[in-house]
Amino acid sequence: MPKSSLPSIENSIIESFNLPQNIHGHELFILREDLIHSLISGNKWRKLSYVISEAKKRGVHGIITYGGAFSNHLVATATACKLYEIPCILRVRGNELTSDSNAYLKHCESEGALLEFLERNRYKDEKYTDTVITYLNRTWLSVPEGGASELGLKGCLEIISDDMDFDIIALAQGTTTTSLGVLLSSKPPTEVWAFPVLKGFDSVSEMDALARKFNRTSAWSDAKSRLKCFDSYHFSGYAKNNEALTQALSDLKIEGNFELDPVYTAKAFIGMISELQNINQPKKVLFIHTGGVLPI
């Protein structure tokens, strides 16, 4: 898919797949959100689509957002802003970095994004900024780290439709925006399995804070009993593409025409299959492929 094409949720389809490890005969399906776009894929576009519309509606000069050195969100934002002709500033965690530090940051700069490398304490203080701000004598729509805005949640609430009937829905978890959206839009008794990619991440507390921030506490209170968070599949933490992860993915021998990225989806997929081996009764399971950038 050429990266110059516009993202389209119409490209997202559900496919079945199987694995040798599926010893209990679970019905396995994958939601191909990665097909929305080659670089603005999956939940990245879900969290950006309403942001792009809002920036146009408000007539701001551009978008400012935040992310780490290997942030798929930054890559998606830079690509989307170029496609929709919106200036963007990407504030990156770590003032020791440069645009030459890795392929992700090089790509962002090549798309015309202005990169600002922030000292880590300053980054921590600013990364939740979610408003219109004035900077360089112009107005900018500021989007929190990872696209964790109310507009981002609005997009993520649309990932699961009413006709999706599954016992379990599984996905990778970063800022919790996507997992909160999926949980709130899914229907009982569906369980939502979240697999944090960060080591030592408190999923429930983060989701609770996000629900309170966006006035979703009642829906969150009703739904959280259906949430299961598995925090032991982080493979040492964010953006750690180590030998153990590579080997675990290879051992699965996936029978399906899709690829998984090492930062997010591969970890969640490995975790899901491992946990399903502990369930004897066959379940109908949906894995949400939230996209992610394979080597650019």
Per-residue pLDDT tens digits for 280-295: 999 999 999 999 866 5
Length of the chain: 296
pLDDT at residue 265 tops 60: yes
Burial class (CB in 10 A: 0-12, 13-18, 19+), 231: middle
Q: Is residue 248, in this structure, part of any structural domain at all?
A: yes
3-state secondary structure of 27: strand
Last residue of a domain, one of 125, 148, 171: 148
129 and 61, same structural domain?
A: yes
Query: Cα separation of 227 and 232, whole Å?
Result: 16
Higher pLDDT, 239 or 109: 109
Q: How many folded domains does the chain comprise?
A: 2
Query: What average pLDDT score do residues 105-121 get?
Result: 97
Please, are residues 34 and 41 in contact by the beta-carbon 8 Å criterion?
yes
Query: Cα separation of 43 and 146, whole Å?
Result: 10
Q: Is residue 274, in this structure, part of any structural domain at all?
A: yes
120 and 178, same structural domain?
A: no
Question: In this structure, what token pair is assigned to residue 77?
Answer: 């934002």
155 and 139, same structural domain?
A: no
Q: Is residue 4, in this structure, part of any structural domain at all?
A: no
pLDDT tens, position by position, 51-71: 999 999 999 999 999 999 989
pLDDT tens, position by position, 204-257: 999 999 999 999 999 999 999 999 999 988 787 665 557 777 787 778 777 677
Q: How many CB atoms lie within 10 A of CB 37?
A: 25
164 and 26, same structural domain?
A: yes
184 and 163, same structural domain?
A: yes
In sequence order, which ranges of the chain are alpha helices (DSSP H)?
43-58, 72-83, 103-110, 120-126, 150-156, 177-185, 203-213, 217-223, 243-252, 265-276
Please, are residues 31 and 289 in contact by the beta-carbon 8 Å criterion?
yes
Query: Cα separation of 75 and 90, whole Å?
Result: 9
73 and 141, same structural domain?
A: yes
Query: Cα separation of 74 and 58, whole Å?
Result: 22
What CATH number has the domain bearing residue 74?
A: 3.40.50.1100
Which of 67, 275, 286 minimizes the C-alpha distance to 168?
286
Share of the chain above pLDDT 70, in %: 95
Last residue of a domain, one of 102, 130, 148: 148
Q: Give the residue numbers spanning the domain of 32.
A: 9-38+151-288
Please, are residues 56 and 277 in contact by the beta-carbon 8 Å criterion?
no
pTM of the shown model: 0.92
169 and 113, same structural domain?
A: no
Which of 215, 212, 205 minimizes the C-alpha distance to 173?
205
24 and 89, same structural domain?
A: no
279 and 196, same structural domain?
A: yes
pLDDT tens, position by position, 152-198: 999 999 999 999 999 999 999 988 999 999 999 999 999 999 999 88
Q: Is residue 3, in this structure, part of any structural domain at all?
A: no
Last residue of a domain, one of 118, 148, 178: 148
Q: Is residue 278, in this structure, part of any structural domain at all?
A: yes
Backbone angles phi, psi at 259, to 5 degrees: -115, 155
Query: Cα separation of 133 and 26, whole Å?
Result: 49
Q: Is residue 295, in this structure, part of any structural domain at all?
A: no
Cα 178–180–184 angle (5° rounding)?
120
